[in-house]
């Protein structure tokens, strides 16, 4: 039986499977090198197809980036929203739930975080606007969590909340960058590590208070 042209792939690979392969390799390439430094030729070489085939399947580099970004943004946004709203024991801090959700969503595709948080996107492009949409949505959720945390600590200063939101984003990025360099670490191991780091931070702050 002849495969219909619309479903035909390359070298006997069905088109749908080849597209999934392209998206996986392109996501890693964009995440590792950034939008500006990534070329369609480099992605084609990773996949083992021709550059014209990539354009035929996905269009321009921006179109391919968006095809990588949208599932990443949807997955991360869903992970954070679910972690912040699900019913859990009070002893489990929201910050750790969110981090575990992020690590779980990124497991096997850790570079995907840097597809979303890419500083090299062309200004005023559709790619930059779409990435900004997802970042704002995640930041809004983080802002809700940090404001609640600060209110519990007795701070109602909106600038405190804004600063903490920025710090949280930087912390998440730093942790994912470290995780990329330690592929043996599972999401569960990373969550336990974060719990230990948070506990150590609280101890250091308590010692600092006693010294004053």
Query: Does residue 175 carry a pLDDT above 80?
Result: yes
Pairwise pLDDT comparison (208 vs 30), residue with the higher score: 30
pLDDT band with cut points at 50, 70 and 90 for residue 6: very low
CB-facing half-sphere around the CA of 108: CA atoms within 13 A: 4
Q: What is the mean pLDDT of the chain?
A: 88
Nearest to 150 by CA among 136, 139, 164: 164
**Could you tell me which residues are beta bridge partners of residue 13?**
10
């Amino acid at each position: 039986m002849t495969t219909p042209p619309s479903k035909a792939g390359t070298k006997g690979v069905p088109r749908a499977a080849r597209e999934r392969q392209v998206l996986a390799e392109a996501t890693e390439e964009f995440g590792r090198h950034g939008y500006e430094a990534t070329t369609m030729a480099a992605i084609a070489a990773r996949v083992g197809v021709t550059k014209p085939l990539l354009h035929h399947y996905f269009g321009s580099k921006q179109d391919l980036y968006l095809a990588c970004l949208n599932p990443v943004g949807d997955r991360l946004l869903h992970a954070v929203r679910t972690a912040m709203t699900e019913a859990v024991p009070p002893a489990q801090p929201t910050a750790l739930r969110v981090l575990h959700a992020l690590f779980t969503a990124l497991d096997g595709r850790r570079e995907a975080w840097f597809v979303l948080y890419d500083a090299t996107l062309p200004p005023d492009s559709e790619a930059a606007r779409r990435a900004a949409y997802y970042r704002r949505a995640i930041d809004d959720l983080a802002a809700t969590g940090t404001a609640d945390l600060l209110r519990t600590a007795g701070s109602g200063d909106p600038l405190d909340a804004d600063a903490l939101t920025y710090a949280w984003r930087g912390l998440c990025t730093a942790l994912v960058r470290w995780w990329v360099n330690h592929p043996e670490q599972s999401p569960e191991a990373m969550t336990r590590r974060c719990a230990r780091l948070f506990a150590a931070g609280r101890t250091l702050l308590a010692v600092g208070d006693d010294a004053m």
